[in-house]
Amino acid sequence: MKNYPKMGVKVVAPPHAGAIWRERLGSAFRTAIACTIIGCTALYGPDNVRNQIQYPSVAYVTAILIVSDATLGTTLRGSWNAFCATVLVVPSTLLCFWVVGPSKFTEAGATVAVALSAFVVAIPECLPILTKRIAFAQLVIIYVGAVVRGGDAGPVSHPVHIAACTALGASGSVLALILPYPRLAVTEVKKQFQTYTENASDRSNLYLKAFLSQDKSTADDLIAQAEPLAKSGTKLIRHINRIQA
């Protein structure tokens, strides 16, 4: 029986997983910029602005929900979702405070109000999930704040402060996606698609070498090396689809 020489197997590390990691690191950096903008505005902004930012946590939550894995286009869409959530929540809470009054809110009453309002927000299928998430956060802060502050929470100024904080979070998100340079979806898709093309080329080369190999153990090693690249390629495709959505 003729013995064939074994092919040299070069260990191939899956470098393409690093592209996704760098992408997530960039998203974290953008989120940090948005939170920095919010913090500086709340601490060092003009007095008339700082007086409206009574609940910075709402601004931080809004920014984190919008900026995470976002491009400039999706951030603008997220800001619109924040506006829709505010339009949905603030008028209903103004009506509730006009009927009951913040000073009369108890813990049980706030729990019932949050539950009923959240139920109403969750029902419509046409509302994007981001709009619902921001609306849920607004409802909790508004009604819990009414219980904590009591009479100090004005029936009009209290919901308006929540709306102002939401606007600050959305504005900080847009600025974070512009600075230091805009993060555009078309640029990100091209970059990720190039990485995926390299990934697919590496996998094809490994599978071809495995097919042409005369030694079963060498072929198994080559196929095993292609598996991490296949998983990385799947993640890249999902990431590209998420950017294009």
Residue-by-residue pLDDT tens, the chain, 245 positions: 444 344 444 444 455 556 667 777 878 888 999 999 999 999 998 989 888 898 999 999 999 999 876 778 888 999 999 999 999 999 988 888 888 877 777 788 888 888 998 898 888 888 899 999 999 999 999 988 888 877 777 788 889 999 999 999 999 999 998 887 777 666 676 777 778 788 788 888 888 888 888 788 888 888 888 888 787 778 777 767 766 66
Integer Cα distance of 152 and 170 in angstroms? 27
The pLDDT score that the predictor gives to residue 194 is 77
The pLDDT score that the predictor gives to residue 172 is 93
- The DSSP 8-state label assigned to residue 8 in this structure reads P
The pLDDT score that the predictor gives to residue 17 is 55
The pTM of the full predicted model, rounded to 2 decimals, is 0.72
Q: Shortest CA distance to 244 belongs to which of 130, 73, 76?
A: 73
Check: CB of residue 133 under 8 Å from CB of residue 56: no
Residue 71 backbone zone (phi > 0: left; psi -120 to 50: alpha; other: beta):
beta
Q: Is 64 exposed, middle or buried (0-12, 13-18, 19+ CB in 10 A)?
A: middle
Q: Shortest CA distance to 39 belongs to which of 183, 137, 175?
A: 175
Q: Is 153 helix (H, G, I), strand (E, B) or coil?
A: coil
Integer Cα distance of 58 and 212 in angstroms? 60
- Going 235 to 187 to 81 to 63, the CA torsion angle's sign is positive
Q: Is the peptide bond before 180 cis (omega within 30 degrees of 0)?
A: yes
The pLDDT score that the predictor gives to residue 231 is 79
Q: Which two tokens stand for residue 170?
A: 């959305």
Q: Which two tokens stand for residue 192?
A: 């990720």
